[in-house]
Amino acid sequence: MYLIDFYNFKPPAELLVNRDESQAIRVNAAKTSLEFRRNAFNTDSVDEALDLLDFCYKIVSRSGLSENGTYLPKAIHPKYSCVHPKTSIDDAMDEARMVMCGAIEGLLKKQGLAAKDVDIIVTTCSIFCPTPSLASMVVNHFGMRPDVQSYHLGGMGCSNGVVAVNLVKDLLRSRRNCNAILLTTEITTPAYYKGKDKHRQVTNMIFRTGASAVLFSNKRAMVRHAKYVLATNYRVHLASRDPAYKCIWYGPDEEGNNGIYLGKDVVNEASRSLSMAMFKVAPSILNAGQIAAYAATELQRKVLGRKVPAYKPVFTECLDHFLIHAGGAKVLDGIGKELQLDEAAMEPSRMVLHDYGNVSSSTTWYTLGYVESVRGAKKGDRLLQIGVGSGIKCGVNVWRAVRDVHDVQDAWVSSPRTRQMRTRTPCLVPVGVQVLLLADARCPCRLGALEGTKQSRLAAKRHWPCQAGCCSGACCMLQ
């Protein structure tokens, strides 16, 4: 299956969330407005409201989200609807039209296609499932053909941006000469929690608005312009186990207020599902040396009875880019640890979390946008796409670039990393000369050199430029 192109929606600047400004607005409202306390936390107590606000601020401060770089719709934005957060169906539809139609408009314009050129449309959104469906809303908005195949997938969580690729693949197998669009989002308006359960308040702090539209095709004329081909994919569903099934769910708290519950087992269950998925995918992505090392380890453990650690491959040796669901800082930490990924490999996902927050099933597509905009992908590069969500479900897709790709996406065009990419000039700074280059103010390698980390010292010793990829090969190392 060929991936032709995709588009990440960037909300308007007026919807940016300033962390400190939002906190100040909410603290003032908690002190002065009984209506706010009841609407936001279902309490009359000023002290309880302030305690919950303090908890929320700590969560968002440690979440990996930018101080001023993520987006919320006006209906639940502290700047516009602090005292009266709106979670009605009409408000949710306003958000859905903005992000979903905006993503498809961007994709169609980018590819020079008309809405009537679309043969299959698949939409995904977990919490908000209106009637008619969101897929029908898109068909109506764009005036698509009456024979368009439309499907909506609801309640499948953050993994659905990856898992839904299975459905698109099957649909394209059953129909020739078709264009298919996968539209992924999570509408945050109806998911906004108005209660005092801290487990549910977490999602208010990390989920943000956004959407991605992805174009697949099996038309010969379109395939010639494809960026990637799906090499292999696999999915795992652990819902038969109660700890996995119950660690993420949407429903009422003890007082009847609906919200998304995030349990303490989320990271462990996500890691478990990922391990199972990667075990199945590994034979098709590991190189010959890694397969031989695995075989030798298993021989010692199971045949010779020796107590040796299980073999854990270093995936950076066989894969070039990693598109990991940016569900939160702890989720990324857990997946990075499970796959033994360094910060260079984790950086694209961390930047999505920083600039856009948890945009649910769209996060891995925003990550791909970052990779294309800042680093680029070379022909033959392999990209590992990982989605983890409620269930627990884990989906793994491995894509192979069929041509060189350096496509600055609208969502990343104003990113400092993208601007640096355009103007950088490779250089080599002699060992011992500490120069603060402007190539990348947030480069972890440059910051690591300041701190004298092992990676930076090794790079300095070898007179390397930045090899981690965080600056696309530009030398921004203090060497």
Catalytic residues: 158, 237, 321, 325, 354, 358
Phi, psi of 313, rounded to the nearest 5 degrees: -70, 155
Q: Which two tokens stand for residue 353?
A: 């979390």
Q: Is the separation of the CB atoms in 272 and 259 below 8 Å?
A: no
CA triple 209-359-102, angle to 5 deg: 50
Phi, psi of 259, rounded to the nearest 5 degrees: -170, 165
Rounded Cα distance between 39 and 296, Å, is: 61
Cβ neighbours of 457 (radius 10 Å): 14
Rounded Cα distance between 349 and 323, Å, is: 6
Q: Which parts of 285-363 are beta strand (E)?
A: 321-324
Whole-angstrom Cα Rg for the chain: 23
* Beta strand pairing call for 149-153 and 120-124: parallel
Taking the C-alpha atoms of 85, 87, 88 and 90 in order, what is their torsion angle to the nearest 10 degrees? 90
For the chain, the distance separating the N- and C-terminal CA atoms, rounded to the nearest angstrom, is 44
